[in-house]
Structures are given as C-alpha cells and as structure tokens.
C-alpha cells in the first residue's frame, strides 16, 4: 500500500485501528494528510516498559493529572479525549521496535486498548487510528506486533 493509501486509511471510519507502517510512509504523513488528520507522535524509545510508556503517552496526549497510569485508565482517557479539531486523529508510535521491548507480553494489551479507542471514535464518526513504525536502521525480520502491515514494513 502506498503512502497515500496510508493517509487515506487514517481518514477512514473503518478498521484496522492499529497498523504497522514503514517509516517512509509515516514521514510523509504530515504532507499527505494535511490538516484533516491530527497527528500525535510518541517516541517508542521512551516506552520500553509499561510504566515508561504510560508516562510518555500521558505527556504526548496531555492526559489529565488524575490519569491512573494503568491500561484501564488509558482506555478511559482515550475515549474522553477532547474532540480533535481535525476530521481524524492518528497516534503514531515512532521507533515501535522499542515500545514495550522490556515487557513484550504487554503489547497485545496496548493494541487492544488502541483498538477500543478506534471503535469508540468511529461510533462517534471520528476516525482514530494508531500507527506503529520502526525506526530507520531497526533490524528487519518479522515484526513483534500482531497487527496488519500497510506497505512494505521494515524500511
């Protein structure tokens, strides 16, 4: 799937809500999507553990001070985000190979939380997608994420 197709996907009210995409496609998103998609980037290198990732997400998404630093609280906060000004919202995890690298068993839970957010916002007619992208120079091979890939992963 081309970069434009990734941009089109992010504007759609259809799953998959979480995808793996090549770094080149993610780098082009800002120009491909324009102001119609609000992009929020999370640096995966700051989220090797669940605690680190939740703190990083709290900062990137400006979650409220009462955020409980657990998966249920994240799910609640993602549903309660102030409605984005743009037509769609995309949460981009750069360097996804580092996200939960110290606790890989937690990755499925993160994906489930992100999928629930996508479903919730689609029901409100607002696309909410999450994109996982490996950093430049990351080792190739099978991705450690159980999500569909858009484009040739590993670039």
User: Where do runs of H (alpha helix) occur along 61-91?
Assistant: 71-79
More reliable by pLDDT, 75 or 30: 75
Condensed to tens digits (0 to 9), the pLDDT of residues 140-152 reads 544 579 999 986 5
Report yes or no on 40 lying in a domain. yes
What is the number of structural domains in the chain? 1
Report yes or no on 8 lying in a domain. yes
Domain around 37 = 3-133
Vertex 82: Cα angle to 81 and 86 (nearest 5): 110
Q: 4, 115, 102, 111: which is closest to 47 by C-alpha?
A: 102
Q: In what order do the strands lie in the sheet with 37-43?
A: 18-20, 128-133, 88-94, 37-43
Q: Are 88 and 130 in contact (CB under 8 A)?
A: no
Report yes or no on 155 lying in a domain. no
| Structural tokens at position 123 | 């029901």
Report yes or no on 142 lying in a domain. no
Confidence (pTM): 0.90
Q: Is 126 helix (H, G, I), strand (E, B) or coil?
A: coil
**CATH code: domain of residue 19:** 3.30.370.10
pLDDT given for residue 152 in this prediction? 56
Report yes or no on 62 lying in a domain. yes
Report yes or no on 55 lying in a domain. yes
CB atoms closer than 10 angstroms to residue 16: 16
pLDDT given for residue 30 in this prediction? 77
Condensed to tens digits (0 to 9), the pLDDT of residues 47-95 reads 999 999 999 999 999 999 999 999 999 999 999 987 666 789 999 999 9
Report yes or no on 105 lying in a domain. yes
Report yes or no on 91 lying in a domain. yes
């Amino acid at each position: 799937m081309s970069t434009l197709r990734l941009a089109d996907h992010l504007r759609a009210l259809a799953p998959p809500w979480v995808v793996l995409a090549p770094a080149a496609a993610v780098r082009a998103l800002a120009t491909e999507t324009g102001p119609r998609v609000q992009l929020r980037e999370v640096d995966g290198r700051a989220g090797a553990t669940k605690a680190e990732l939740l703190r990083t997400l709290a900062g990137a998404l400006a979650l409220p001070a009462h955020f409980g630093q657990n998966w249920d609280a994240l799910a609640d906060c993602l549903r309660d985000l102030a409605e984005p000004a743009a037509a769609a919202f995309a949460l981009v995890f750069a360097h996804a190979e580092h996200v939960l690298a110290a606790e890989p068993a937690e990755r499925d839970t993160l994906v489930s939380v992100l999928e629930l957010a996508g479903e919730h916002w689609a029901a409100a007619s607002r696309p909410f997608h999450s994109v996982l992208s490996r950093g430049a120079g990351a080792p190739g091979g099978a991705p450690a994420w159980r999500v569909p890939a858009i484009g040739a992963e590993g670039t």
